Structure 1
Amino acid sequence: MALVQNEQRYRVLIELGIALSAERNHNRLMEKILQGAKGLSHADGGTLYLVTEAKDALQFEIMLNDTLNIAMGGTTGKQIPFPPLSLRDDDGTPNHSNVSSHCALTGTTITIADAYNIDSFDFSGTKAFDVQTGYRSKSFLTVPLKNYEGEPIGVLQLINARDSDNQVIAFGDDIVPLIEALASQAAVALDNQRLIEAQQTLFKSFISVIAGSIDAKSPYTGGHCHRVPAVTLMLARAACDATDGPFADFSLTEDEWYELEIAAGLHDCGKVITPEYIVDKATKLETIYNRIHEVRMRFEVCKRDAVIACLEGLLAGSEDPETLTRRRDETLARLDDDFAFVAECNVGGEFMAPEKIERLKKIAVQTWTRTLDDQMGLSINELRRRPAEPSAPPVVESLLADKPWHRIPHEPPVDVARYEAEGFKIRPLETLYDLGEIYNLCISRGTLTAEDRFKINDHIVQTVLMLKALPFPRTLARVPEWAASHHEKMDGTGYPCGLTRDQMSLPARMMAIADIFEALTAADRPYKKPKTLSDSLKIMSSMARDHHIDPDLWRLFLSSGVWKRYADEYLRSEQVDAVDIAALLG
């Protein structure tokens, strides 16, 4: 009979060990440890403590008592009202008077047959509890939980072992090794869980640092890398909560939630290679600085030359003074007007008409005289791009020009084959940048050249390449796809791969909506005013009709109130206006 009983106990111990090693949820793990120990020892109750992070106390994690019908902590949702057990007295002396603290301090197992007949520990609190509840606390088994370094990380305490007649007995010598073995397995499971949680926390913090550094690069996109994940997770939660419609069966496991959070946090990690002066390019001639100042000085030189020519003519008496003065005034007025026009073109806008481009090119061919060597004070890279002066100054030059050295080559050359191998539809242009003055001033919309636009769009290519280079574990294998598809469109006209709706996962489509909604409502962009909530929703409703974003997800975005929750938390008060959701859904 004893042999059969021992075999059953070992089988239970093995099954408990397997269950503990597989459990990922902290509260469920705590319950399995205590429930398993109670069942194995036939104890009436028990408590599981964990050493606090400061290692100065034992924190109550879960309490169970069958007779008193007590279940607190763990997954019960009921808070344990007792304060932590201090491991040291106020003067710093180790607290060996309490059996649980003594167990944690010494790392030894303590077996007590009757708490009322022992003087080595203070059971006054236990006795007071008994008086209050009518219970009789008698036998105790207190076992340390030690991690792989042999350091106690918790204490498992069982109370009132019972025999087959339900009578309270002492914990037998045969059961103590089994509970110690269970405590050892529990400590390993708990320590592993803590290590995994610590790694996840560290990884999430690292991603947050990356996102923060990307946002910090530019005051105009600050917060984008943190706000997009917020919208994405709100929309994912709405899909999980849906009870009917296309998302009734959608759900995310705990691992998938973590995977989505990681993907959303890394969705723009490729922007670390995007120069901030491209992202922040507020005028057409802007690079590291606004080159309109150079152009202005050329006009100033032309104006001074006009005044000097007039004065020299007056001194020489070669022409009528009135003619000279009139010519000077006309030239100054024309130069003022021409520069005002160039400055206006530099600001950019919605559309630059062909006649404006023609006028700009006519202004460009006007000349000025440079008297200083334009290769003095240049960097090595600039000198490599610029040929030697064909003749010594003075040199007559155009007011505006597109010069060969304005075209900045790719260094090193771009590996186009890599773009093809990854299925990217976008391709690098012939040059990295084109700083030509006429070329930039003739930009028809906005302030970005084709090269600038590619450099910005290329951030998603770099995101893909960076994420694919990381050895993600199986549970995070979809991070590259989820993170790098937020510029794709349902009709296949997006980038970088031109994916269609059927080729994109649901989380990727969620992130596409989140990225657009955040961009439309962002109040920190240099090139536009923040749009109101109603305008943003109208624009995106039109995008849904045109199959640029997922129409089903967009309806969920509207009907579930994700837009409202986001607006309440992130938008300025002046952006939040009246929204007719019924009209948008209709």
Structure 2
Amino acid sequence: MRLTALWSDGLMALSPIREGAELSAGTVEKRLRELTAICIALTAERDLHRLLELILTKARELTLADAGSLYLIEEDETTGESRLRFMLAQNDTVPLPDMESIVLPLDESSIAGYVAKTGRSVRLSDVYYASERYPFRFNPRLDMALGYRTYSVLAVPMRTPAGDIIGVLQLINRKTAPGPIPDVLRVEAHVVSFSYEDEEMVRALASQAAAAIENNRLLESIRRLFESFIRAAVLAVEQRDPATKGHSVRVAELSVGLARSLAGVTFGRWAGVVFTADQLREIRYAAILHDFGKIGVREPVLVKAEKLYAHELDLIRARFALAEYAVQCEALRRKLEHVLAHGVGHHTAAFAELDRWAAEQTERLAAYLRVVEALNRPSVVDQDPNVDLLEAIARLRFPTPAGAEQALLTPREVYRLSIPRGSLDDEERREIESHAAKSYEFLRQIAWTKELRRVPEFAYAHHEKLDGSGYPRGLRGDEIPLQVRIITIADIYDALVASDRPYKPAVPPGEALAILEEEARDGRLDADLVRVFRDTGVWRRTLGWGPGMASGE
């Protein structure tokens, strides 16, 4: 609700006071200033609980009410019927029990229900002796439980500018002086009735409060809508790459956890850094959406589990099978030559030697194929020594049925099998790396609020490294914001320990932390943040999470 609209509601409610009430001009001006200050405070508060606390506190301050309560109208999810939900209570004189579970029917059997149902205010000097014209009767059970005595009551509807009643503001026992009632056994000596001017002032405040609550609910509904959009965006990526299901949510959990941990840290460059709620939300959104650009990467590249595509490995296996067939054919040819040269009766020893030769060649081919299959599986560390055999295997030739010679491995196959880390060749890696820029271009299209305006920037840079070896821009050192450094550590750690990646085995948490520390020593990751991540146990936050498990944010 705009401030001007709230201000006009206040003037409309106060206009009868100015015309007919016996208040000095100074008192009216003071109350207008108080109302304006309250209006500004209400429009600035975005947390619903703090907003309701502020509304009730200010209403009691304006009227010197000893106690008060606030109710909001809600819809029963089961029946669809409207009801009154008790939201909070305050009392200067006696401590109150937990009453958050109280729900009242939206009818005229209670004071709050009557006000909400009819839209009329109620102002009583002694609630125990309310006029017979009212359909409600006061329930004294709470007074008896607290050892308290309710006398004067003022209850007003909380009406939006559109005329909808969304709740009730109820004040109890207008005091003659600020502070707790000094003698709870003689409450009547310190309490007076709420005046007509009090009622008009509270009605003005209630209208402003209703508008503020309505705005708060609208903002919350927009936030929920955006959260659902984010979930849909992440789902779209995960459906293209099911192996990474849950990765984005886990990275967000780890990132927010690491950001929060800095507040209690006493060592390193980032000791004592405190992020606001908006800044934490900004980190969370950037972490959740950091991989959205993968939706623009070709699916075969995105889900590539091994260095060779399945059809390429099948082709190599067929080639090795053909080479084995060629060995058997060669053995048979030599046997035939022996028989033709020496006759049928002198072949036993020669045939046995040829069979041994064929078996050795066949086993040699099988061993080479096992090397190829082993090298085809990606690794997160530098490749094993078997890669040296590739050149030797590639030099081997076998005769085809057409009489030509065929190499066991092509140069392109050797190139791909020689990939030192991961499963992607240079071209494929560049395509995968383009997801950071694609994420940025997508996120730039969203009309982010001022508090979240850096989400695209943070998502864009999550693969940058302090030594400039990252991508896509090769940022260095202080060019990389703290928030990005946090997301980068969370992203790398989760990618290492994830058990749902078909192209690599999960790395144990201890080994993953050691890899982070090595990266920090080599100047690629922030060493202080890696230490906080390890020492404060942030890495434990996602232990046991299955694919798709969401955080409690």
Band the TM-score falls in, shorter-chain normalisation: 0.7 to 0.9
Structure 2 unmatched ranges of 5 or more: 1-22, 179-188, 378-382, 548-553
Q: For structure 1, which segment, 538-547 or 242-251, has the greater mean C-alpha deviation from structure 2 after superposition?
A: 242-251
Which one-letter code corresponds to 2:465 in the other structure?
K
CA distance in 1: counterparts of 2:208 and 2:71, whole angstroms: 16
- Tell which has more relative contact order, 1 or 2 (C-alpha 8 A, sep 6+): 2
CA distance in 2: counterparts of 1:446 and 1:163, whole angstroms: 77
- Tell me what 1:345 maps to: 372
Shift of 1:264: 1.5
- Tell me what 1:581 maps to: none
- Tell me what 1:145 maps to: 158
CA distance in 2: counterparts of 1:292 and 1:124, whole angstroms: 83
- Tell me what 1:201 maps to: 224
Post-superposition CA distance 1:149-176 (Å, at most 9, x none): 5332221112233457985444333333
CA distance in 1: counterparts of 2:49 and 2:542, whole angstroms: 34
Checking the alignment, whether the CA contact within 8 Å between 2:371 and 2:386 is kept in structure 1 is no
The yes-or-no answer on 1:108 pairing with 2:120 is yes
Post-superposition CA distance 1:159-200 (Å, at most 9, x none): 233457985444333333332221111111111112222222
Which one-letter code corresponds to 1:8 in the other structure?
K
Distance 1:318 1:122, change over 3 A: same
Which one-letter code corresponds to 1:457 in the other structure?
E
The yes-or-no answer on 1:291 pairing with 2:312 is yes
Checking the alignment, whether the CA contact within 8 Å between 2:250 and 2:494 is kept in structure 1 is yes
- Tell me what 1:86 maps to: 105
1:537 to 513, 522, 530: 513
CA distance in 2: counterparts of 1:82 and 1:353, whole angstroms: 68
- Tell me what 2:137 maps to: 123
CA distance in 2: counterparts of 1:99 and 1:25, whole angstroms: 28
Distance 1:268 1:79, change over 3 A: farther
Checking the alignment, whether the CA contact within 8 Å between 1:338 and 1:363 is kept in structure 2 is no
- Tell me what 1:357 maps to: 390
CA distance in 2: counterparts of 1:82 and 1:170, whole angstroms: 30
- Tell me what 1:478 maps to: 454
Distance 1:365 1:479, change over 3 A: farther
1:153 counterpart SS class = strand
Which one-letter code corresponds to 1:357 in the other structure?
L
1:174 counterpart SS class = helix
Post-superposition CA distance 1:436-462 (Å, at most 9, x none): 545434545553221222222222222
Checking the alignment, whether the CA contact within 8 Å between 1:269 and 1:463 is kept in structure 2 is yes
Root-mean-square deviation (Å): 3.7
CA distance in 2: counterparts of 1:561 and 1:112, whole angstroms: 58
1:234 to 231, 241, 257: 257
Shift of 1:330: 6.3
2:197 counterpart SS class = coil
CA distance in 2: counterparts of 1:467 and 1:400, whole angstroms: 47
Checking the alignment, whether the CA contact within 8 Å between 1:401 and 1:438 is kept in structure 2 is yes
Structure 1 unmatched ranges of 5 or more: 73-77, 88-94, 370-394, 404-435, 573-586
CA distance in 2: counterparts of 1:306 and 1:132, whole angstroms: 98
2:120 counterpart SS class = coil
The yes-or-no answer on 1:554 pairing with 2:530 is yes
- Tell me what 2:94 maps to: 69
2:154 counterpart SS class = strand
Shift of 1:17: 0.7
Pairing of 1:204-353 with structure 2 (within 5 A): 204-243=227-266, 245-286=268-309, 289-300=310-321, 334=361, 337-338=364-365, 341-342=368-369, 344-348=371-375, 350-351=383-384
1:481 counterpart SS class = helix
The yes-or-no answer on 1:503 pairing with 2:479 is yes
CA distance in 1: counterparts of 2:536 and 2:331, whole angstroms: 74
Pairing of 1:378-389 with structure 2 (within 5 A): none
2:484 counterpart SS class = helix
Distance 1:319 1:359, change over 3 A: farther
1:58 counterpart SS class = strand
Post-superposition CA distance 1:228-256 (Å, at most 9, x none): 11221221111022356533441111211
CA distance in 1: counterparts of 2:364 and 2:423, whole angstroms: 22
Checking the alignment, whether the CA contact within 8 Å between 2:326 and 2:399 is kept in structure 1 is no
- Tell me what 2:541 maps to: 566
- Tell me what 2:464 maps to: 488
CA distance in 2: counterparts of 1:254 and 1:309, whole angstroms: 76
- Identity value in percent: 34
Distance 1:275 1:365, change over 3 A: farther
Distance 1:160 1:318, change over 3 A: same
Post-superposition CA distance 1:324-383 (Å, at most 9, x none): 9898996797467446524531442624667533334334675455xxxxxxxxxxxxxx
- Tell me what 2:550 maps to: none
Checking the alignment, whether the CA contact within 8 Å between 1:49 and 1:62 is kept in structure 2 is yes
Post-superposition CA distance 1:114-168 (Å, at most 9, x none): 321323233341x333344454323322222234553322211122334579854
Checking the alignment, whether the CA contact within 8 Å between 1:298 and 1:368 is kept in structure 2 is no
Checking the alignment, whether the CA contact within 8 Å between 1:541 and 1:554 is kept in structure 2 is yes
Checking the alignment, whether the CA contact within 8 Å between 2:109 and 2:136 is kept in structure 1 is yes
TM-score by length of 2: 0.78
Checking the alignment, whether the CA contact within 8 Å between 2:331 and 2:358 is kept in structure 1 is no
Post-superposition CA distance 1:72-123 (Å, at most 9, x none): 5xxxxx7326622122xxxxxxx22112112223333333343213232333
The yes-or-no answer on 1:14 pairing with 2:27 is no
- Tell me what 1:161 maps to: 174
The yes-or-no answer on 1:58 pairing with 2:84 is yes
Distance 1:311 1:153, change over 3 A: same
CA distance in 1: counterparts of 2:466 and 2:240, whole angstroms: 31
2:196 counterpart SS class = coil
